[in-house]
Amino acid sequence: MVSVYGNILALWRARRHRLGIHLRLGHAAGLSLVDMVILVRNYRRAQQEVVLSLDRQRRIRVTTFNLNAFSSQEGLSLSSFRPADIGRLVDLLQIDV
């Protein structure tokens, strides 16, 4: 199954690729960047959207990793807690003692 996120990222990548081709063709035809200002703006926006999407994806993976690290007993045993915090931690994680 393909996610909606994957489709959007694929569309932005395709748009960036297509606009890049048009910019190269315009440059080969002797047009300056000022003449192609609309293409340049659209290309930069597509480039920024791809970077932002990939960065969001990376941040979600890091957050998921951090949450999974503390959801197991091994992860909890690697962390040092003060005795006063253990009770609060048990309540927050809803652990039966």
Rounded distance between C-alpha atoms, residue 18 and residue 72, angstroms:
46
Which amino acid is located at 54 in the chain? L
Domain boundaries, position 45: 4-93
Q: What does the H/E/C string look like for the chain?
A: CCCHHHHHHHHHHHHHHHHHHHHHHHHHCCCCCCCCHHHHHHHHHHHHHHHHHHHHHHHHHHHHHHHHHCCCHHHHHHCCCCHHHHHHHHHHHCCCC
Please write the tens of the pLDDT for every residue from 58-95: 776 666 655 555 555 555 566 665 666 666 766 777 66
Over residues 18-25, the mean pLDDT reads 94
- The number of domains in the chain is 1
**Is 1 a residue whose pLDDT tops 50?**
no
Rounded distance between C-alpha atoms, residue 21 and residue 18, angstroms:
5
Structural contact between residues 15 and 46, judged by C-beta atoms closer than 8 angstroms: yes
